[in-house]
C-alpha cells in the first residue's frame, strides 16, 4: 500500500480519532497526524475495517480540529531505534529524545509490542541478587530474571528504596553491575529529578536509559512507554548480553491511562471501571522479563505499584500480584515509626526465592532461617495486638519475649540505613542474633544441626 494521507477524520474523543474510508489499513500500524497548523502527532491503529479506522493518539486529542486534520498511515508497526548509544539517554514513550540531544540513529528497529517468549525457551531464574537490604535478601530474595514489584502508597519511600536497590544490587561474589532501564509513567517532575540525580551521583548514569512521561505529559503515551522501555531492555539483554534491571514507576498511572482510553473506546468495564483485559495487558508487560536458554543477558524487573488508598485488593496491585513472582509491600505503620525501609514482611513474598538460596547460593541455613523468622514474627504480631488490648504487663514471660522480638525485629532487622549495604551473611547472622532470644525448643522450623551451629542463646 502506498502511503496516503486522508482528510476523512470523522470523530474525536478522549485520545481517539476515527477516520472513514481508508481501505487496507493494518491493525496495530503507526499513524502520523498533522493538526493543520504545522504540528504532528503520533498514533496507532487499534481497530481497522475498510469503512472506519480507530486511532489511538499518543499525544492526546486536545485541541484538534477535525476539519484541519490530515492522517497518514505509515505502513509500519510502532517501532523504536536501538543502538548501544541509548545508554545515558532520556527518551519519551516513543523513543524520541527528551534530553535535547539528537535522535537515536540506527538500522536496528524493533516493534515495541514484543511477542510472547516460548515457555520452552525460558530458563528458570535461580541466581541470587544481593540487594543489601535484609528484608529482601533474607526473607524475600530476588533472583536474576524475576519480576518483583514494590507495593507502596502515596508518601511512602518506594522511590528511595528502588534507588537504593539500583545502587546496591549485585550478584553475590561478583562485581558485574546491572544496566538499568528506567521507565517513569505519570510521575511528578520531582520524582523524575530524584532518580536522575540519584543515577548521576552514584555514577551509574552512563549505564542507564530513562524513558520518561511526566504527570503533565499526555497520558495516552503511557500506554506505549513500558513497551518501548522493555523493547530497549530486550535489546540490551539479548543483543548486548547485559543483565538488565528494569525499574518501572508507577504502574498505577499506566493502568489509569489504560482505563481512560478503554472508557473512550466504550469497552465493557470489569472492576472499578478497568477493562476486562487489564490482566492480559499487564501480563504482556510483566512477562517480558526473564531468562532465556543460551542467552547471556537477563531482564529483572522491579515495578512500583502505588496502592490506591493503601488497598492491596485494588485491581491494579491485585492483578499485578497474580502475574509477578511475589511482591515487596511497604507499610505506613512502619513508616510512621520512622523505620526505613518500611517493608512489611507478612504480606511480602518472593516466589522464586526457593531455588536461589541455600547451601550453594547463599548459606545452608537460609531457607529455614527465613521460615522461622516469619513464624516468630507472625506470632510476635499477634502478641503485640494482645498487648495493646490487655497491656504488656499482663503478658506471660513467654509472650513478653515475643513482644520484645517484634520491636527488635522492626528496629534492627527491618530498619537499616539508606546507604547501608548488608551482605547476606550479615543479614543471616543478625537473624540468628534475634532468634537466639528464644529457647531452642521454640525454634521448631530450624533443624537441630543448624541450631547446634548457629544458635547463640544460652537457654535450653
Partner 1 sequence: MSEQQNKGFVREINGPIVTIDLPGIRSGEQVRIGELGLVGEVISLAGREAVVQTYESTDGVRPGEPAEGLGWPLSVELGPGLLGEIFDGIQRPLEKIALESGDYIRRGLALPGLDREKRWEFEPNPELAPGQSIGPGTVLGTVQETETIQHRILVPPDHQGELTELAPGGEYRVEDSIAHLRDAHGHSLHLTLFHRWPVRKPRPYRQRDDGISPLITGQRVIDSFFPQLKGGKGAVPGPFGAGKTVVQQQIARWSNADIVIYVGCGERGNELVDVLESFPQLEDPYTGRKLMEKTLLVANTSNMPVVAREASVYVGLTMAEYYRDMGYDVVMLADSTSRWAEALREVSGRLGQMPVEEGYPAYLASRLAAVYERAGRVETYNAGAGSVTLIGAVSPPGGDFSEPVTSHTKDIIETFWALSKELADARHYPSIDWVTSFSGHVHAAAEWWHKEVDRHWEGRRTEALALLARDAELSRIVNLVGPEALSDAQRWQLEGASLIKEGVLQQSALDEVDTFCSPQKQFALLDLALSTYDKGMTLIEIGVPVSHLQDLPQLAKARRCKSMYTSEQVARINDLAREIDEAFESIRLEYAKQHTDD
Give residues 219-248 in contact with partner 1 (rule: CB under 8 A).
238
Among residues 154, 147, 229, 153, which one has the least CA distance to residue 184? 229
The number of residues that bind partner 1 (CB under 8 A) is 90
Check binding of 129 to partner 1 (CB under 8 A).
no
Check binding of 189 to partner 1 (CB under 8 A).
no
- CA–CA gap between residue 251 and residue 253 (Å, rounded): 5
Give residues 266-305 in contact with partner 1 (rule: CB under 8 A).
267-271, 275-277, 279-280, 283-284, 286-288, 290, 292-293, 295
Q: Shortest gap between Cβ of 325 and partner 1 (angstroms)? A: 6
Residue 28: CB atoms within 10 Å: 14
The smaller minimum CB distance to partner 1, of residues 101 and 398, is found at: 398
The smaller minimum CB distance to partner 1, of residues 46 and 66, is found at: 46
Cell 528494569 belongs to residue: 246
Check binding of 449 to partner 1 (CB under 8 A).
no
The smaller minimum CB distance to partner 1, of residues 217 and 399, is found at: 399
Among residues 19, 18, 111, 14, which one has the least CA distance to residue 62? 14
- Given 32, 72, 122, 404, the residue binding partner 1 (CB under 8 A): 122
Residue 303: alpha-carbon gap to chain centroid: 1
Give residues 30-89 in contact with partner 1 (rule: CB under 8 A).
46-50, 77
Q: Shortest gap between Cβ of 454 and partner 1 (angstroms)? A: 17
Check binding of 319 to partner 1 (CB under 8 A).
yes
Check binding of 125 to partner 1 (CB under 8 A).
yes
Choices 30-38, 62-70, 206-214, 435-443 (CB under 8 A): range interacting with partner 1: 435-443
The smaller minimum CB distance to partner 1, of residues 10 and 447, is found at: 447
Check binding of 437 to partner 1 (CB under 8 A).
no
Check binding of 392 to partner 1 (CB under 8 A).
no
Q: Shortest gap between Cβ of 418 and partner 1 (angstroms)? A: 27
DSSP-derived letter for residue 137 is I
Q: Shortest gap between Cβ of 92 and partner 1 (angstroms)? A: 22
Q: How far is CA 457 from each of CA 217, 407, 435, 454, rounded to the nearest angstrom? A: 58, 18, 8, 9
- Given 23, 39, 84, 103, the residue binding partner 1 (CB under 8 A): 23
Q: Shortest gap between Cβ of 366 and partner 1 (angstroms)? A: 11
DSSP-derived letter for residue 275 is B
- Whether the link from the prior residue into 201 is cis, omega within 30° of 0, is no
- Given 347, 418, 452, 453, the residue binding partner 1 (CB under 8 A): 347
Beta-sheet strands, E only, within 258-390: 291-292, 298-306, 326-330, 343-350
- CA–CA gap between residue 343 and residue 368 (Å, rounded): 20
Q: Shortest gap between Cβ of 186 and partner 1 (angstroms)? A: 23
The β-bridge relationship of strands 70-77 and 5-6 is antiparallel
The smaller minimum CB distance to partner 1, of residues 288 and 401, is found at: 288
Cβ(286)–Cβ(280) under 8 Å?
no
Q: In what order do the strands lie in the sheet with 5-6?
A: 5-6, 70-77, 29-34
The smaller minimum CB distance to partner 1, of residues 103 and 347, is found at: 347
* Cell numbers standing for residue 222: 503511557
Check binding of 389 to partner 1 (CB under 8 A).
yes
Check binding of 308 to partner 1 (CB under 8 A).
no
- Given 5, 10, 103, 322, the residue binding partner 1 (CB under 8 A): 322
The β-bridge relationship of strands 208-214 and 90-91 is parallel
The smaller minimum CB distance to partner 1, of residues 121 and 452, is found at: 121
Give residues 395-424 in contact with partner 1 (rule: CB under 8 A).
395-396, 399
Check binding of 385 to partner 1 (CB under 8 A).
yes
Check binding of 375 to partner 1 (CB under 8 A).
yes
Among residues 384, 454, 458, which one has the least CA distance to residue 425? 454
- Given 5, 11, 27, 40, the residue binding partner 1 (CB under 8 A): 27
The DSSP string of 210-223 is EEEEETTS-TTHHH
Interface mask toward partner 1 for 148-187; x: CB under 8 A? ----------------------------------------
Partner residues linked to 243 by β-bridges: 298
Among residues 317, 341, 321, 355, which one has the least CA distance to residue 144? 355
Cell 509491600 belongs to residue: 329
* CB neighbour list of residue 131: distance below 8 Å, 6 or more residues apart: 137, 142, 164, 165, 168, 169
Partner residues linked to 12 by β-bridges: 17
Q: Shortest gap between Cβ of 443 and partner 1 (angstroms)? A: 9
406 Rama sector, left if φ>0, alpha if ψ -120 to 50, beta otherwise = alpha
- Given 323, 339, 403, 426, the residue binding partner 1 (CB under 8 A): 323
Amino acid at each position: 500500500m502506498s502511503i496516503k494521507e486522508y482528510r476523512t477524520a470523522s470523530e474525536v474523543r478522549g485520545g481517539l480519532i476515527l477516520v472513514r474510508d481508508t481501505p487496507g489499513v493494518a491493525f496495530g500500524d503507526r499513524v502520523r497526524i498533522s493538526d493543520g497548523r504545522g504540528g504532528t502527532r503520533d498514533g496507532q491503529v487499534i481497530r481497522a475495517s475498510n469503512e472506519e479506522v480507530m486511532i489511538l493518539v499518543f499525544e492526546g486529542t486536545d485541541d484538534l480540529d477535525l476539519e484541519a486534520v490530515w492522517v497518514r498511515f505509515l505502513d509500519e508497526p510502532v517501532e523504536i531505534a536501538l543502538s548501544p548509544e541509548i545508554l545515558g539517554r532520556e527518551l519519551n514513550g516513543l523513543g524520541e529524545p527528551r534530553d535535547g540531544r539528537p535522535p537515536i540513529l540506527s538500522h536496528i528497529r524493533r516493534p515495541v509490542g514484543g511477542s510472547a517468549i516460548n515457555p520452552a525457551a525460558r530458563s528458570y531464574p535461580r541466581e541470587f541478587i544481593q540487594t543489601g537490604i535484609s528484608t529482601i535478601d533474607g526473607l524475600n530474595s530476588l533472583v536474576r530474571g524475576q519480576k518483583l514489584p514494590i507495593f507502596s502508597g502515596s508518601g511512602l519511600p518506594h522511590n528511595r528504596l528502588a534507588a537504593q536497590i539500583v545502587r546496591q544490587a549485585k550478584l553475590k561474589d561478583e562485581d558485574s553491575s546491572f544496566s538499568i532501564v528506567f521507565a517513569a509513567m505519570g510521575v511528578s517532575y520531582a520524582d523524575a529529578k530524584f532518580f536522575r540525580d540519584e543515577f548521576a551521583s552514584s555514577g551509574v548514569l552512563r549505564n542507564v536509559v530513562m524513558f520518561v512521561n511526566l504527570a503533565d505529559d499526555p497520558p495516552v503515551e503511557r500506554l506505549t512507554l513500558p513497551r518501548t522501555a522493555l523493547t530497549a531492555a530486550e535489546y540490551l539483554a539479548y543483543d548486548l548480553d547485559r543483565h538488565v534491571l528494569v525499574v518501572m514507576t508507577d504502574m498505577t498511572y499506566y493502568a489509569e491511562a489504560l482505563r481512560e482510553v478503554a472508557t473512550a473506546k466504550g469497552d465493557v468495564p470489569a472492576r472499578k471501571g478497568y477493562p476486562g483485559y487489564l490482566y492480559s495487558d499487564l501480563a504482556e508487560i510483566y512477562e517480558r522479563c526473564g531468562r532465556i536458554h543460551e542467552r547471556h543477558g537477563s531482564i529483572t524487573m522491579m515495578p512500583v505499584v502505588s496502592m490506591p488508598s493503601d488497598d492491596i485488593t485494588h485491581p491494579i496491585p491485585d492483578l499485578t500480584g497474580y502475574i509477578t513472582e511475589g511482591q515487596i509491600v511497604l507499610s505506613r505503620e512502619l513508616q510512621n515509626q520512622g523505620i526505613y525501609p518500611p517493608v512489611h514482611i507478612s504480606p511480602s513474598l518472593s516466589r522464586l526465592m526457593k531455588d536461589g538460596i541455600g547451601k550453594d547460593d547463599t548459606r545452608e541455613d537460609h531457607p529455614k532461617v527465613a521460615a522461622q523468622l516469619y513464624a516468630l514474627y507472625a506470632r510476635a504480631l499477634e502478641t503485640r495486638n494482645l498487648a495493646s488490648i490487655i497491656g504488656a504487663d499482663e503478658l506471660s514471660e513467654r509472650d513478653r519475649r515475643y513482644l520484645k522480638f517484634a520491636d527488635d525485629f522492626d528496629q534492627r532487622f527491618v530498619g537499616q540505613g539508606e546507604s547501608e549495604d548488608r551482605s547476606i551473611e550479615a543479614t543471616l547472622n543478625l537473624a540468628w542474633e534475634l532468634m537466639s532470644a528464644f529457647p531452642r525448643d521454640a525454634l521448631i522450623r530450624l533443624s537441630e544441626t543448624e541450631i547446634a551451629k548457629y544458635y547463640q542463646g544460652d537457654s535450653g
